[in-house]
């Protein structure tokens, strides 16, 4: 279980770093088809990740569990060429997991692709819903609400009509202060 963590400022001294970053990385291996206890990633805050490389807020590689109630704020305006993923969900057949009620805010500077939720392939047993997916598109960066395999949703309506949950929203959370206080002030959330 990964619960109640504040993950912030890992690169304050080297903000031009171009390495891949995984604030939370979950991987489950079905060793001999023996199912381990289910993983749960919940109530975590990821913010102030100042990096110029690809950033994955939560990287879930066949997590076989639940990803609930996390706040992911990737908003480094100083980035020049950064791909950003709020939640990256990879899976194999036989794994079951849910991604629900997360708040994902992406407003990364520079060029690059920015994804709220990204599933490289459609896998049975993976469900998501109730997530707020606020992904900002800039003149030099493409913001994508979500991806299911080859199907992309750049607006909340596209996302929902292409397999995203009808309960997902695209609302600016209006954080009290995204650097120090991650409470949303948007009463619609």
- 164 contacts 134 by C-beta, under 8 angstroms: no
Q: Render pLDDT for 100-141 as a digit per residue (tens, 0 to 9).
A: 999 999 998 888 889 999 988 877 778 899 999 999 987 777
Q: Is 152 exposed, middle or buried (0-12, 13-18, 19+ CB in 10 A)?
A: middle
pLDDT tens readout for residues 68-81: 999 999 998 888 88
């Amino acid at each position: 279980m990964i619960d109640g963590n504040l993950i912030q400022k890992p690169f304050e001294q080297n903000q031009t770093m171009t390495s891949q970053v995984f604030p939370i990385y979950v991987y489950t291996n079905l060793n001999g088809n023996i199912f381990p206890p289910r993983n749960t990633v919940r109530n975590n805050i990821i913010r102030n990740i100042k990096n110029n490389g690809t950033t994955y807020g939560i990287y879930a590689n066949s997590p076989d569990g639940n990803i609930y109630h996390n706040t992911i704020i990737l908003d480094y305006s100083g980035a020049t060429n950064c791909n950003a993923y709020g939640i990256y969900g990879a899976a194999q057949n036989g794994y079951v997991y849910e991604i629900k009620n997360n708040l994902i805010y992406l407003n990364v500077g520079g060029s690059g692709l920015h994804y709220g939720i990204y599933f490289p392939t459609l896998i049975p047993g993976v469900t998501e819903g109730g997530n707020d997916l606020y992904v900002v598109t800039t003149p030099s960066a493409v913001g994508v609400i979500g991806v299911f395999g080859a199907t992309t949703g750049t607006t909340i309506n596209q996302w929902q009509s292409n397999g995203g949950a009808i309960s997902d929203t695209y609302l600016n959370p209006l954080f009290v202060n995204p650097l120090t206080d991650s409470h949303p002030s948007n009463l619609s959330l």
